[in-house]
Structure 1
């Protein structure tokens, strides 16, 4: 009979063998984790080791970098967000990501992913936001698959190499709010009959493609469009549809660098658009461009009828000539004077047009940087561009910290580069602000003021860019205290402060945008009403 000491020795000797024979931990990994490991296997180059923490030895992927989970009533935590952006990953988008049934947000922008957009992503039926912009994806747009997603609201495939025509299946994207396909190789026309199926569309960007043909008038009937309608840098022809005037005044229209022609309609909101919306269309004329449209010649200037045969025969026969009447002499004199006056008016008009064009050319050369940035974002600083900042939203935020710049991971108390909302009703995210269309309103000693139309369709805001320059932490705390005090002011003559941004490179102040003139005009009108 063995003693207890001998039995203990036997157990200690067999313990390493028992540990070696246990099932591998990878078998315990959840199905969501296996789908994410399939994406890791599809990545051929990870220069920043962003996926190094993804291991099959874990029970679930909820602690992996870039992965967001949520607890469910049954089955434990599930993956609801994946954000691995700006990591220069090479490879392709694994179709297995479509097997994540609760995935709401997929953000892989700013990498070097190639191949096609997998139609299998349509199996992730909870997907609401798909951000694959700034990659090297090619092939046609799989609209039939993506529009089958019942909750898809945001689709951004800009800055890729997608080709082919805009598919008619886009009409099935009834829930879509933002469609961004800029800077691809899409060709063909902008099909009519597609956009009626997008009643919730707030922002449409088809710029920098190879689209041709006419602009569909039905774009003016999009009921929810309130952000940007950008069709610039294509090969569109024809006129500007008057139906675009039915769009709200908050819509930023951009039709630059096309082959549009004819007179710009002055219907509805088209009359309030600035000249930058129509520049570089050689055939366009009329307000707000400084290109007059040629008027048709009036019928009163038609040449006189040829002399009758009786008059000709009498002249030829040498008969007696009728004396010239005094009224005819007066009529000829008046016509000569009118002709001289008309020539003078034309000469003065040509002089002023040449002078104005030289002045505009000088202003364009001076403000070239401002106009080139309109519609693409607010700021030239690399850390303030949309493609260099985190793609955050109200639902999820990147946990890896890889998209942070100028210390954006620090709190607001450390002047860490966060957009601080003063007004509780202000629901704008920093990346949404920076990717919105911006137009210069004016410049002064206190910086540049932009009009910014946000992609979520809210009212436009005014953003004052105070510029960079290092500042002491005490100055930031003083600025934050003053901003909080001003934000509590409620007065009809004081523009409401909404938010502010403070970092080493940029300092921004976000206020309400006051339309229809300037402060002097508003005060003058108010004084007139009182009197």
Structure 2
């Protein structure tokens, strides 16, 4: 018995040694494991108390054996957050997103004053956010979105002056924003307060958030009052959303608030002015416009009340009778009008033997005057659609897309384009289209799915789309190296750039040609691009050309956008430069007064509404000329005259100017490629011929470029 007791004591002493070998931070983390009642994915299965430190545990990161991060996302954990985590003095990152955690945030958590990121979105936390959050002087990321938090934001949050991201969307927060909210966060890049019940007026100091890069979303709250004009001071590339509040008054037209689509302001019945359809009445105009204020009477003018009294002094008995009789007659006329409309338009409609509508017989009553508009009933059925993947490799959902960091990379008449970086590092390009056209979902769906089937190495891939009444999104693969316009001319505002080599230009020319040939000959609908230009030729890291925006104008039209239509182009009314060759047979559609994009459009587009493949051939020829000359499509030949690139080349040929004066100066170093330069010029000039019938097909052009590229490659080798 004594031997057995000794063995038991020996085992227990070994156990005590093993347990006591775990350091203090390990014991703190074990309280987190104990607070989790359900761990279906085994996130804590390797959290072993026999270790000396928790640094080897799943989800735990250490620096010099000190716990600096606890990251356990998407593991279906069910439980609460223990207050003991605040004892981790070196903790910098706590990420427990997309679990099933509940309860309140323990105020002791904010004793971990080294915290730099607190990410708890996608759980069921509730209650108030403790005022102790102000202790987190190093906090940069605060994401409490998609929980059940309530109460107002603590005033102490403005002490977290290093915050770069504040996302508390989809909660039950109430009250107004803390005083000084806009002036306290000089580093803030993203602010998302959407889908709460914040109220009060928008602080004017929000315009001081000059470091914003991605999102400024205050939508779906109860903010009231006018929109401060100071919001125009926000960076122009920021995605601003003030929709679905109780805001009122005119929308300021300055800075970042200009050129915004209506989706940024819809759902505020009191708002008026551009870009909304509701115009501002004189009573809602800003008092800062003195020219619109009524003149006040001076000392020599009769008082307003006196004038009104004179006009409303007692009415005679006959006048009162006349007014009453007039009202009765008016009511009778209105009644007769409604009765006539009903009798003419609300009747049973049937089909006669020939299949035509008949006014007689039994059938479904259909009141044309008062029936509910068909588009309205359809739009009610098409209220919301989820993200629709068009690619088998799409591994993200709408929630992840909306959570991602977004940066504006382009604006046009067909919406804004964002660079979107998902949490797992996947980068996408997202284009926002118009907010109207909800009754045309089926048409949009058919068109977008047809475009998604176009797969070629020189076409940008459409990966998914999203449709709702208020939002239409097209999600593309992201092409990282900018567009061809920037590669040729450099980025606006920068002095120096790395010019394209001749071999890179040939590679790009060949890629564009192959992409257009695919659209013209191998796509199911024999697509015509119709708007080919350097801005929508994107470049990969390996300088492969990727054509974008094909089919975009039609999609924007269906979605309710306002794309620039081909038929809206106008020829320049300026007289031709006297130096231009007399043999020119085409009309000039490119001038300083026209849209730059029209410089790439074929002359016949002024007269013919429907694009043809020969339009794309002309546009491709213009791109070749721009690439080989390094010049813009519109050339300033003197202080008072300008000439488009096609006519300038023709003039150079007539005047027999040396090739060195025609090609891009950056290509002078490739003087041994003179024959190739001339070959490309010949191909380009055949593409921009004034007569569409005399232009080659893209198949012939592509074959010629491919032969030239192969010959050039073999000569280099």
Mapping 1:107-146, distance limit 5 Å: 107-142=95-130, 144-146=131-133
- Residues 368-390 of structure 1: CA distance to partner in whole angstroms, max 9, x if unpaired? 557x87xxx9999994137669x
| 2:161 aligned partner | 174
Structure 1 160/46 Cα, relative in aligned 2: closer, same or farther at 3 Å? same
Do residues 194 (structure 1) and 186 (structure 2) align? no
Shift in Å at residue 277 of structure 1? 0.2
- Whether the 8 Å contact between 1:191 and 1:216 is mirrored in structure 2 is no
Shift in Å at residue 364 of structure 1? 7.0
Structure 1 436/386 Cα, relative in aligned 2: closer, same or farther at 3 Å? farther
Shift in Å at residue 161 of structure 1? 1.3
DSSP 3-state at the match of 2:54: coil
Shift in Å at residue 206 of structure 1? 0.9
| 1:335 aligned partner | none
Structure with bigger helix share is 2
Do residues 385 (structure 1) and 397 (structure 2) align? yes
- Whether the 8 Å contact between 1:192 and 1:218 is mirrored in structure 2 is no
- Residues 152-211 of structure 1: CA distance to partner in whole angstroms, max 9, x if unpaired? 100000111111122221221101010011111111122442321111111111111111
DSSP 3-state at the match of 2:423: helix
- Larger CA deviation: 262-271 vs 520-529: 520-529
- Whether the 8 Å contact between 1:487 and 1:498 is mirrored in structure 2 is no
Q: Which of 124, 133, 139 in structure 2 is aligned with 1:152?
A: 139
C-alpha distance in 1 between matches for 2:225 and 2:20: 62
| 2:30 aligned partner | 37
C-alpha distance in 2 between matches for 1:484 and 1:108: 31
- Residues 90-122 of structure 1: CA distance to partner in whole angstroms, max 9, x if unpaired? 221112222222222111111121221122222
C-alpha distance in 2 between matches for 1:53 and 1:384: 29
| 2:74 aligned partner | 86
| 1:465 aligned partner | 462
| 1:10 aligned partner | none
- Whether the 8 Å contact between 1:263 and 1:286 is mirrored in structure 2 is yes
- Residues 211-256 of structure 1: CA distance to partner in whole angstroms, max 9, x if unpaired? 1121111111212122211111111111111111111111111111
Mapping 1:52-91, distance limit 5 Å: 52-70=45-63, 72=64, 77-91=65-79
Structure 1 379/483 Cα, relative in aligned 2: closer, same or farther at 3 Å? closer
Shift in Å at residue 19 of structure 1? 5.6
RMSD, matched Cα? 4.7
Shift in Å at residue 361 of structure 1? 6.8
Do residues 101 (structure 1) and 207 (structure 2) align? no
DSSP 3-state at the match of 1:91: strand
- Whether the 8 Å contact between 1:25 and 1:56 is mirrored in structure 2 is yes
Task: Structure 1 unaligned segments of length 5 or more: list them.
Answer: 1-13, 310-357, 394-426, 449-462, 469-479, 501-508, 511-516
Greater relative CO, 1 or 2 (CA 8 Å, sep 6+): 1
Structure 1 209/145 Cα, relative in aligned 2: closer, same or farther at 3 Å? same
C-alpha distance in 1 between matches for 2:183 and 2:135: 17
Shift in Å at residue 497 of structure 1? 4.7
- Residues 332-374 of structure 1: CA distance to partner in whole angstroms, max 9, x if unpaired? xxxxxxxxxxxxxxxxxxxxxxxxxx9997997798557x87x
- Larger CA deviation: 80-89 vs 15-24: 15-24
- Whether the 8 Å contact between 1:212 and 1:234 is mirrored in structure 2 is yes
DSSP 3-state at the match of 1:54: coil
Shift in Å at residue 85 of structure 1? 1.3
C-alpha distance in 2 between matches for 1:277 and 1:203: 16
C-alpha distance in 2 between matches for 1:251 and 1:178: 14
- Whether the 8 Å contact between 2:480 and 2:541 is mirrored in structure 1 is no
- Whether the 8 Å contact between 2:391 and 2:463 is mirrored in structure 1 is no
- Whether the 8 Å contact between 1:182 and 1:208 is mirrored in structure 2 is yes
| 1:229 aligned partner | 216
TM-score, normalisation: structure 2: 0.46
- Whether the 8 Å contact between 1:378 and 1:434 is mirrored in structure 2 is no
Shift in Å at residue 498 of structure 1? 6.8
- Residues 32-64 of structure 1: CA distance to partner in whole angstroms, max 9, x if unpaired? 211110111111222222212212122222222
- Residues 453-505 of structure 1: CA distance to partner in whole angstroms, max 9, x if unpaired? xxxxxxxxxx963349xxxxxxxxxxx9x9899999944446655789xxxxx
DSSP 3-state at the match of 2:33: helix
C-alpha distance in 1 between matches for 2:256 and 2:480: 36
DSSP 3-state at the match of 2:66: strand
- Whether the 8 Å contact between 2:421 and 2:427 is mirrored in structure 1 is no
Shift in Å at residue 434 of structure 1? 7.9
- Whether the 8 Å contact between 1:228 and 1:437 is mirrored in structure 2 is no
- Whether the 8 Å contact between 1:384 and 1:434 is mirrored in structure 2 is no
- Whether the 8 Å contact between 1:201 and 1:222 is mirrored in structure 2 is yes
C-alpha distance in 1 between matches for 2:275 and 2:165: 28
| 1:527 aligned partner | 633
- Whether the 8 Å contact between 2:133 and 2:156 is mirrored in structure 1 is no
DSSP 3-state at the match of 2:44: coil
Structure 1 141/32 Cα, relative in aligned 2: closer, same or farther at 3 Å? same
- Whether the 8 Å contact between 1:379 and 1:385 is mirrored in structure 2 is no
- State the aligned residue count: 382
| 1:431 aligned partner | 423
- Whether the 8 Å contact between 2:224 and 2:245 is mirrored in structure 1 is yes
Mapping 1:313-462, distance limit 5 Å: 369=384, 383-385=395-397, 430-431=422-423, 440-441=432-433, 446-447=451-452
Structure 1 20/365 Cα, relative in aligned 2: closer, same or farther at 3 Å? closer
| 1:48 aligned partner | 41
DSSP 3-state at the match of 2:258: helix
- Larger CA deviation: 169-178 vs 518-527: 518-527
TM-score, normalisation: structure 1: 0.61
Shift in Å at residue 266 of structure 1? 0.8
C-alpha distance in 1 between matches for 2:404 and 2:24: 26
Shift in Å at residue 136 of structure 1? 1.2
C-alpha distance in 1 between matches for 2:404 and 2:55: 18
